[in-house]
Chains A and B, each alone.
Chain A
Amino acid sequence: DGGITQSPKYLFRKEGQNVTLSCEQNLNHDAMYWYRQDPGQGLRLIYYSQIVNDFQKGDIAEGYSVSREKKESFPLTVTSAQKNPTAFYLCASKRGGGATQPQHFGDGTRLSIL
C-alpha cells in the first residue's frame, strides 16, 4: 500500500543536540510538508517543498532545517536553536501544487526533551 512513513515514532533530544526526523513517501507526490502540532492547537507549517531540490519556509521555520534531495524523502532537522522543540511533528504530501488536492499525512513523530 502507498503511504507516508515517519520515523522514529518517539524521539528524545538532549540540550544542544540536533535531531533529524525522517519522512518517506511512496505515493509519487511532488509536494511535501512538515507541520508542528502542540496540545489544543491546530497544525502549524514549518517547511514545505513543491519539487526536488527546492523548499520554502512556513510560518515557524526558525530553529528547523530541511532538505529535498529525492522526491520520496523530506527529512526535518530540529536544531539546538529551537528552544521549545517538544511537540508532535507531522509530515504530509500531496499530488501537486493545486489547492484542491488534499494532503496525506504520516503517523507522526513525538519529540521530547531529556
Chain B
Amino acid sequence: AQSVTQLDSHVSVSEGTPVLLRCNYSSSYSPSLFWYVQHPNKGLQLLLKYTSAATLVKGINGFEAEFKKSETSFHLTKPSAHMSDAAEYFCVVSDEWDTGRRALTFGSGTRLQVQP
C-alpha cells in the first residue's frame, strides 16, 4: 500500500528566503511522485514530477525536488520565496504497479505563507 506524509501543515517564510516543504512516502514498488500547488478556490497545478529518471527534478516557478530512496523522501525546495508562492502544496505518490483505483494518493497538504 502507498501513503504520503507531509510533515508540516503550515510553513511561514519571509520573502526572499529559502522554502523547504517536506514529504515522506511509502510505496511497495517503484513510485512516481508529484508536487502540486493549489491557490485559493482553484484547481491543482502540477509543479514537477519524478518518474525514475534524474533524482533531482526541476519544476516550474523555480521549484525543485530531490528523490531520496534511502530516506523515502521527496522534499520540495525553492531558493528564494516570492509573495506569489503563498498557496497550498500537495505531495502525491503514484504506484507504478497499481494503476486505476489507487493510482494517486495525496498528502494532507502544506500551507505556505510568505511574509513581506
Contact = CB atoms under 8 A, between A and B. Distances in A.
B99 A97 contact: yes
Contacts of B74: none
The prevalent SS among residues of B at the interface is loop
Given A42-B107, A110-B41, A99 B95 contact: yes
Contacts of A44: 106
19 contacts: A42-B107, A42-B108, A45-B102, A48-B100, A56-B101, A90-B43, A97-B99, A97-B100, A99-B32, A99-B94, A99-B99, A100-B49, A102-B46, A102-B49, A103-B104, A105-B43, A107-B42, A107-B43, A110-B41
Given A100-B32, A102-B34, A50 B100 contact: yes
B108 A56 contact: no
Interface residues of B, number: 29
B95 to A, nearest CB: 6
Contacts of A97: 99-100, 103
Given A43-B106, A105-B36, A108-B42, 7 more contacts: A41-B109, A42-B107, A58-B101, A88-B41, A99-B94, A107-B42, A108-B43
